[in-house]
Structure 1
Amino acid sequence: MRTISFVSAIALSVATAAIPAVAQQAPANPSAAAGVHTDLPRVAHPSHYTISVTPDAKNLTFSGTSSVDLEVTEATPFLTLHALDLKISSATLTPAGGAAMPITITMDPASQTAKFTAAQPLAPGKYRLDTVYTGVINTQANGLFALDYPDKVTGKETRGLFTQFEAPDARRFAPMFDEPIYKATFDLSAVVPSTQMAVSNMPVAKEEDLGKGLKRVTFGTSQKMSSYLLFFGVGDWERLSKEAAPGVQAGIVSPKGSGEQGRFALNELAPLIPFYAEYFGQPYPLPKIDNIAAPGQSQFFSAMENWGAILTFERILLDDPAITSAAARQNIVTTQAHEVAHQWFGNLVTMAWWEDLWLNEGFASWMETKATAHFHPDWFPLLNRVDGREQAMNLDGFKTTHPIVQEIKTVDETNQAFDAITYQKGEAVISMLEAYAGESVWRDGLRNYMRDHKFGNTRSKDLWQAVEKAGAPGLTSIATDFTTKPGIPLVKVTGLTCKKGVSTVSLQQGEFSIDRKDEVAAKPTMWKVPLLVSAGGEPVRTILEGGKGTVTVKGCGPVVINSGQLGYYRSLYTPAMLAKLTAAMPTLQPVDQTGLIQDNMELSTRGYQPLAPAFDLLAAVPGNANPIVTGTAFGEYVGAWRTLEKEPAAQAKLLTRVSGTFKPRLMSLGFEPKAGESLPNADLRATLISGFGTMGDPDVVAEARRRFTALSANPKAMDGPLKTTWLNIVARNATKADWDAIRTMAAASTSAVERQYLYTLLGRPSDAALAKAARDLALTDAPGKTTSAAMIVASAGLHADETYDFALANRARIEALVDAQSRVTFIASLANSSTDPAMIAKLQTFKASVPAEASRPVDRVIGGLTERAKARPLFVKGLTDWLAAKKK
């Protein structure tokens, strides 16, 4: 699964060929899975499901029948399966070779289970459980859900059905053993409208005309897999396809009228299959890989790795020349790379329980970067790992953090596990471990791991053992430290000498924290930290353990103690060393430039060093730097400008400095895309325009206004990759007439992506009255069931307090607009940009209204606001002092 919010994504602006059978590795019997958590009695496990559903899309209900072949492993008076929002009308249990016996059904909504009790205790053996039931079709992405969107040709409202089962929602589709360790094969069939396309994990095996405009579609038997990977969808769709590998067809399924919008994604999807098959040493075991474009959005996820039938929201899959930005095109590539990596890491080999979710998500995040670097090295994707590291550290530095491998027992705890610790810290730690083991040893270990555990379940220790055996002694202890201990190592340089061309660096380990500085200074957590240290030449590998160490490295150049930025730790230099790095900044490797910028800005902001040296380092980035580095540096300035919101004179002075460095780069790139330019340059243009628009640069704001005015004569005047960038500037500075014009455009659009983006823009104005109008509009049916939440998020950007109060005042209606997994996080996050001290008390009141196991998101916002209130005045003073000390 890929998690990215709709607002962030925009701002970044059926085969039947057979393949050779693959020998299936039998997983351990779930009844013997000692130490693996379960919500179910470990007395039975499934081997095969036969499920048939008949959706009633109009009335948002469905009926179903299910047969589960299972084995009872010890005598039991009843069977317990997961079931949620299902009405089971009848059930029978049939022993192998025996007669069906009636059973009583007891539903327990609190535990999301159904108990099936026979007249006599069940002896060990094989059985078949048959059920008849009905369920609901949701309007948010939980279980079987509906998405309404405008037909791309006629504009008529159209409805498609999709499923989303991760983490605990397959139980909304049929009674199931809905935990990852209970793997089984699936036969799925559905009764659907004759004119529509139905899609599942496997190709269609048979279609039967039932008359009255209906058909029964039966899909091929799936591979052995966990229940959360099952997929079903049906709608007015079309499909582009091509061969990905011998016997494997790749397809993009999208709403009718999409035409060639899926071609870019298809051409990027197909090569991933042989690439991953070779890297992991295991062939792709299904005859097809579809990626289904779903109109709409979710506040919880952007794409899901259902085996052979990936679900991706349309805004991150289709390439529409009228609105798709350079950043969005890159996101198409990286999201597909992430989800296809899951076909091996997650689907073929699956974590035993959600505590090891990072085995799915951290590895898919790491692999998406590796794959993108393979196919698009000119995009500099490895530099983005620094951004990922920072996202993780922004959570990991607080006391509300958790280890990568965390204890998970409830549904709420599972849902909260999909965060930057699981994804981005996971990727950062894997990158560090790969560097420690070496690329070839690391890959050999992964291949052995895949070979030994395919079609089964694992825990983190299984992977470490495989890599160690491949030739990386000591890796397990390092990996265990970084996956079971929360927090961030702090590596401090305590001394440096250079004699005869050799630098000797003295190091001390501590712990970096945002809200526990005194506590960790007195008693820091200790890790075994792999280091890569350089002094202008080849880096030296070493391990820092026991709190102190010394490393010698050739060269007397500026020392970088996290060379290549592959280590997950903060690097604190002496003032003299940092000054030397500042002087050398233009000549350093781009990855070290961006890593040093972000590391030192955080160290200064959090009080580990003065602010001036960090801004000196930032100011040393030349205006002609690598486009990714330029974007990072420029983003730091924009963030600083926002912090000076109550200091208009300082804001103006900062804008003058920023303009002097970066405005020439923007003018060189120009306001119009150029034929043949690189994607990073195209994305940098959008980044600079957006940032200068935010800071009120008169040239950029005037250009946005000019382009918007042109829409009155030509509705397509703004079409192109910068459309969302320019419109965002207009929306921020919107008048009532502008706001009304955007609303009219949104209502008239026949593009689901454009429509949801335009409605979201209505929440962006700095004008409080217009933002309120957007919030009120979000509670109507006009924006669409999955767009309203994004409008409210947009409103919170500049009006956090009003938006939070609005959400609490309309809590039941707001929660209906958000996926069940996201409700607590969604409401709490609306307060993120508040500067009102009273907000913390409001959040504490809100926290009291949610289950204790669901409260971590609230605590995170409270912690962030508390620390920001302390840090902001110091940051503002440090920045204004730095500006005052600089010449104009």
Structure 2
Amino acid sequence: MRRKLRAGATTAAAVLAFMLCQNASARDVAMPSISAENAKLAPLPETIPSSLPRTARPLHYTIQLVPDAASLSFGASVGIDLQVFEATPSLTLNGNGLTVTAATLLPEGGGAPITLTPSADEEAQTLTFAAPATIAAGRYRLDIAYTGPIGTQAAGLFALDYPDPATGKDVRGLFTQFEAPDARRFVPSFDEPSYKATFDLSAVVPTGDMAIGNMPVATSEDLGNGTKRVTFETTPRMSSYLLFFASGDFERSAITAADGVETGIVGPTGTGAQMTYARDSMAELLPYFDDYFGVRFPLPKLDNVAAPGASQFFSAMENWGAIMTFQRLLLLDPKLTSPGLKQGIYSVEAHEMAHQWFGDLVTMGWWDDLWLNEGFASWMAAKATDHFNPKWNWLLGQIDGREGAMSQDALATTHPVVQHVRTVAEMEQAFDGITYQKGQAVITMLEHYAGPDTWRDGLRRYMKAHAFSNTQSKDLWSAIEQAGGTDINRIAQAFTTQPGVPLVRVTSATCAAGKTTLELAQGEFSLEDTSGTSAQTWPIPLLLSAGEGEPVQHLMTGKTDQVTIAGCGPALINSGQLGYYRTLYGEEALGGILDGFAGLSAIDQYGLVRDNLALAMAGYQDLAVGMDFIAAVPADSDPVLAGNVASLYAALHEILEDDGAKAQLRDLASATYGPRLAALGFEAREGEDLTDTALRSELIRDLGGMGDPAVVTEARSRFQALATNPDALDGPLKSTWLAVAAANASPEDWDLMKSLAEKANSIVERQLYYAALGEAKDADLAQRTLDLAISGTPDATSGAQMIVAVAGLHPDLAWSFVRGHEDAVETLVSSSGRARFQARLVRASTNPEMVGTLEDYIAGIPADQAKPVSEALAKLKVRLRDRPRQRAQIAAWLQAR
């Protein structure tokens, strides 16, 4: 496919030569001023891990960039003001894939530049600059000229090709993604979080393009050759992974938030009408975060840049002052955006904005404490989303995140929240459910235990004490305890340094004189060892309630405990679902809970459903218990709860193999939720709550996925209308109807989806159709999708999505295909996501032969890259062990009804 590219009239090399001359003469006149904070720089302490020598650290970077989008290459120079702490023969920085053409070292006090000899260690991702004589301690400027490639995956400086919304012809935009170890693909640097510095960035871009950086544009100079040099204002002190640059045919929509900060959304030209929701949400959220953290956002502007593509492994990145979010989760397109995605736009934006404090202003000292960024941003996003959208019942949905974390944490392959990260591969794999969802769940539990006011006061102390610097987990616990939080360090240490899921058994619950006495025992929930025993214990904050009695907070510290609380009636151990642990009730206690189930809050109902279903799936109790809890949820319950439970029916339906049992479960789900769907109707209604719009979408998807005849017929009818009217499905249910139709696609349907993808003028719509090709149940169509994925016709990120989609229903086919086409597939997946990509291929496998296949694969890759695949293998073994029992018990429960 021919691509319309906006290339400058001059080559990158020619402009770079001019730029280096300008830089040398200007910098010889005066060094940039050094802040008082930088003047106090000391060597990185031994308590903070590092892969670099501790002989120097940066103060300031001046980067000049000349990208050549057409040739996918760039030239650049950087001047790094740095402090050398002890005499050394060389300086070592991070660098990956960069070619150094010149390097000199200039003493701060003046004198002749010292010519340095560069060498690269590709495995260590370092560049060493050797001097002809020992470099004495002191201040220097390290000037480096270099070139590098522009990638096509989201790592370093990369390009995204997308259809112009007006013409449909492909255009190209440039973006950066540096977390965790990829700023070194862009600039030779001290690319570790504790090496904070200030940054000046300038770039030569086509005259008609927009350039975006962390800070506002300071100057824009027309170079008279179809290009301009854009220079951004100096950033605050920050870690290298937060640096950002983007350029392309963009437009920007901005307003000023109540705190005076300019908030803007940037996206491809022609998408301005889709920016309003995210722009206004950002302006609404920013003052809320200012107030909560007690520190006003310290930059003059905050942009969120829509990247027109997708990644298999992340949705957005919190670059300071210039968030980057993939387009479908930032721009609200009324033709395509589902109700769930609309909620996702708000939640993801809140997550990345929370990072502007937790991660950007205050940054973890090393990747061991990545959860200080991600767990806190997830927790704060949920708090803010719920605050501004109370009708969404957002906190109920956070139970799914807790359950996802527990499914990973209950395997021997898990890791503590505070993890051991030393290699680049370990950095790239640290972004998982333990870091995000367990981190969030533990924070939720700790906040409630400390009390919301104490917790907030502690966070405010933490922000003010560590602004523009780096911390470890212990610094946070200290701040919370200084604010009045008791036992916080003790509890937090246990839940963040010990892996695993606590299990609380209710061995007895007796009521007398209006009080309930509970006998409790502590163990561990494991998917591999279902004895429930454990050598370790946790101090577990319980929130206990019985009947109408008020919930009571209690800290369980030993293997056994006895506690008496006011009230008689159903006893809940995790009232409000605020704790990170599972609860195994005895038969009598379970009966009481089910008898009073209708009177419980929606969040307790859903938490009990998920907890008891997980315990039953793992074999701690019969699946009849889990099914009883699912069936106990009223069909007319809260719309969020109803949609979530309908999804559980659909997930259980996928487990079953027997056609009779599958039909029985489908009929039960249809009988329960079909009337609710009929009442909602197949069309969104003007003015209805977003939760009703979302419930309609969920019920269509779930009932249709189970084969409900009425829904499948409706989906096929609506899909076939696309043959004559490409806009026939436009609206908030487009992706929903397409998913049901795609699963039941005929060869003609597949051809239509492919044609629609090729003609789409929206990258989001294009990728929606391409991914849908992989949802087909038909194995021949799945093979056609795999062949297309590596044909070069779809963009790289679409190709990866297609393969993963096929793996959902055809895991063995997808795995074999990737093994047979590794070179072609390699170009579709970023280096940081390859291990996770391989693991996703077998996420649904139930083939016993795959055990040996995965074991052989793991044996052939480095140990620090094997974690995701080892986890997938552990889950496969659990599935193979448990599926026969699960299927038999579900079938027995259905027969008993």
State the TM-score, normalized to the length of structure 2: 0.95
Query: Residue type matched to 2:556 in 1?
Result: L
2:526 is equivalent to residue 513 of structure 1: yes
Partner of 1:338 in structure 2?
Answer: 351
Q: How does 1:35-184 map to 2 (within 5 A)?
A: 35-99=47-111, 100-184=113-197
Q: How does 1:208-607 map to 2 (within 5 A)?
A: 208-518=221-531, 521=533, 523-536=534-547, 537-607=549-619
Query: Residue type matched to 1:312 in 2?
Result: T
Specify the SS of the correspondent of 1:530. Answer: strand
Deviations 1:26-75 (A, max 9, x none): 79846142321101001111010000000000000000000000001122
Q: How far apart, in 2, do the equivalents of 1:823 and 1:399 lie? A: 22
The answer to whether the Cα contact below 8 Å between 1:27 and 1:455 also exists between their aligned partners in 2 is no
Query: Residue type matched to 1:796 in 2?
Result: A
Q: Which moved more, 1:56-65 or 1:629-638?
A: 629-638
Q: How far apart, in 2, do the equivalents of 1:39 and 1:550 lie? A: 50
Partner of 1:818 in structure 2?
Answer: 829
List gaps (5 residues or longer) in structure 1.
Answer: 1-22
Q: How far apart, in 2, do the equivalents of 1:388 and 1:849 lie? A: 32
Partner of 1:9 in structure 2?
Answer: none
The answer to whether the Cα contact below 8 Å between 2:530 and 2:619 also exists between their aligned partners in 1 is no
Q: How far apart, in 1, do the equivalents of 2:85 and 2:313 lie? A: 37
The answer to whether the Cα contact below 8 Å between 1:325 and 1:721 also exists between their aligned partners in 2 is yes
Query: Residue type matched to 2:126 in 1?
Result: T
Instruction: Report the alpha carbon displacement of residue 211 of structure 1 after superposing the two structures with TM.
Output: 1.1
Q: How far apart, in 2, do the equivalents of 1:729 and 1:651 lie? A: 17
Instruction: Report the alpha carbon displacement of residue 247 of structure 1 after superposing the two structures with TM.
Output: 3.6
Instruction: Report the alpha carbon displacement of residue 623 of structure 1 after superposing the two structures with TM.
Output: 0.2
Partner of 2:889 in structure 1?
Answer: 878
Partner of 1:764 in structure 2?
Answer: 775
The answer to whether the Cα contact below 8 Å between 1:300 and 1:819 also exists between their aligned partners in 2 is no
Specify the SS of the correspondent of 1:47. Answer: strand
Deviations 1:173-205 (A, max 9, x none): 110000000000000000000000000000000
List gaps (5 residues or longer) in structure 2.
Answer: 1-34
CA shift in 2, pair 1:30/1:808, >3 Å: farther
2:710 is equivalent to residue 676 of structure 1: no
The answer to whether the Cα contact below 8 Å between 2:509 and 2:571 also exists between their aligned partners in 1 is no
Q: How far apart, in 2, do the equivalents of 1:665 and 1:573 lie? A: 32
2:616 is equivalent to residue 621 of structure 1: no
Partner of 2:23 in structure 1?
Answer: none
Q: How far apart, in 2, do the equivalents of 1:785 and 1:24 lie? A: 47
2:816 is equivalent to residue 805 of structure 1: yes
Deviations 1:508-567 (A, max 9, x none): 11010001334x62x432000001001133100010011111222211021110001000
2:640 is equivalent to residue 640 of structure 1: no
Q: How does 1:697-736 map to 2 (within 5 A)?
A: 697-736=708-747
Query: Residue type matched to 2:734 in 1?
Result: K
Q: How far apart, in 2, do the equivalents of 1:30 and 1:672 lie? A: 64
The answer to whether the Cα contact below 8 Å between 2:454 and 2:485 also exists between their aligned partners in 1 is yes
Query: Residue type matched to 1:419 in 2?
Result: D
Q: How far apart, in 2, do the equivalents of 1:24 and 1:372 lie? A: 39
Q: How far apart, in 2, do the equivalents of 1:680 and 1:28 lie? A: 53
Q: How far apart, in 2, do the equivalents of 1:657 and 1:502 lie? A: 39
Q: How far apart, in 2, do the equivalents of 1:517 and 1:27 lie? A: 57
Specify the SS of the correspondent of 1:70. Answer: strand
Q: Which moved more, 1:586-595 or 1:452-461?
A: 586-595
CA shift in 2, pair 1:727/1:209, >3 Å: same
Q: How far apart, in 1, do the equivalents of 2:97 and 2:303 lie? A: 29
Q: Which moved more, 1:400-409 or 1:237-246?
A: 237-246
Deviations 1:212-255 (A, max 9, x none): 11000000000100000000000000000000144410000000
Query: Residue type matched to 2:885 in 1?
Result: L
Q: CA RMSD in A?
A: 1.2
Q: How far apart, in 1, do the equivalents of 2:622 and 2:707 lie? A: 29
Q: How far apart, in 2, do the equivalents of 1:34 and 1:530 lie? A: 34
Q: How far apart, in 2, do the equivalents of 1:547 and 1:717 lie? A: 61
2:671 is equivalent to residue 660 of structure 1: yes
The answer to whether the Cα contact below 8 Å between 1:403 and 1:483 also exists between their aligned partners in 2 is yes
Specify the SS of the correspondent of 1:271. Answer: helix
More relative contact order in 1 or in 2 (CA 8 Å, sep 6+)? 1
2:622 is equivalent to residue 610 of structure 1: yes
Q: Which moved more, 1:127-136 or 1:843-852?
A: 843-852
The answer to whether the Cα contact below 8 Å between 2:365 and 2:470 also exists between their aligned partners in 1 is yes
Which of 845, 857, 875 matches 2:856?
845
Partner of 2:10 in structure 1?
Answer: none
Partner of 1:15 in structure 2?
Answer: none
Specify the SS of the correspondent of 2:596. Answer: helix
The answer to whether the Cα contact below 8 Å between 1:27 and 1:457 also exists between their aligned partners in 2 is no
2:824 is equivalent to residue 793 of structure 1: no
The answer to whether the Cα contact below 8 Å between 1:24 and 1:454 also exists between their aligned partners in 2 is no
Partner of 1:207 in structure 2?
Answer: 220
Specify the SS of the correspondent of 2:404. Answer: helix
Instruction: Report the alpha carbon displacement of residue 712 of structure 1 after superposing the two structures with TM.
Output: 2.9
Specify the SS of the correspondent of 2:373. Answer: helix
2:789 is equivalent to residue 778 of structure 1: yes
Which of 736, 739, 743 matches 2:750?
739
Q: How far apart, in 2, do the equivalents of 1:377 and 1:176 lie? A: 45
Instruction: Report the alpha carbon displacement of residue 715 of structure 1 after superposing the two structures with TM.
Output: 2.0
State, as a whole percentage, how many aligned pairs show the same letter.
52
Partner of 2:11 in structure 1?
Answer: none
Instruction: Report the alpha carbon displacement of residue 828 of structure 1 after superposing the two structures with TM.
Output: 2.5
Deviations 1:90-125 (A, max 9, x none): 000011112211111111111100111112212211
Instruction: Report the alpha carbon displacement of residue 25 of structure 1 after superposing the two structures with TM.
Output: 7.0
The answer to whether the Cα contact below 8 Å between 1:26 and 1:455 also exists between their aligned partners in 2 is no
Query: Residue type matched to 1:64 in 2?
Result: A
Q: How far apart, in 2, do the equivalents of 1:864 and 1:246 lie? A: 48
The answer to whether the Cα contact below 8 Å between 1:69 and 1:126 also exists between their aligned partners in 2 is yes
Q: How far apart, in 2, do the equivalents of 1:56 and 1:338 lie? A: 33
Partner of 1:831 in structure 2?
Answer: 842
Q: How far apart, in 1, do the equivalents of 2:770 and 2:230 lie? A: 37
The answer to whether the Cα contact below 8 Å between 2:530 and 2:620 also exists between their aligned partners in 1 is no
Query: Residue type matched to 2:363 in 1?
Result: T
The answer to whether the Cα contact below 8 Å between 1:489 and 1:510 also exists between their aligned partners in 2 is yes
Query: Residue type matched to 1:866 in 2?
Result: K
Specify the SS of the correspondent of 1:577. Answer: helix
Partner of 1:689 in structure 2?
Answer: 700
Query: Residue type matched to 1:115 in 2?
Result: T
Instruction: Report the alpha carbon displacement of residue 632 of structure 1 after superposing the two structures with TM.
Output: 2.0
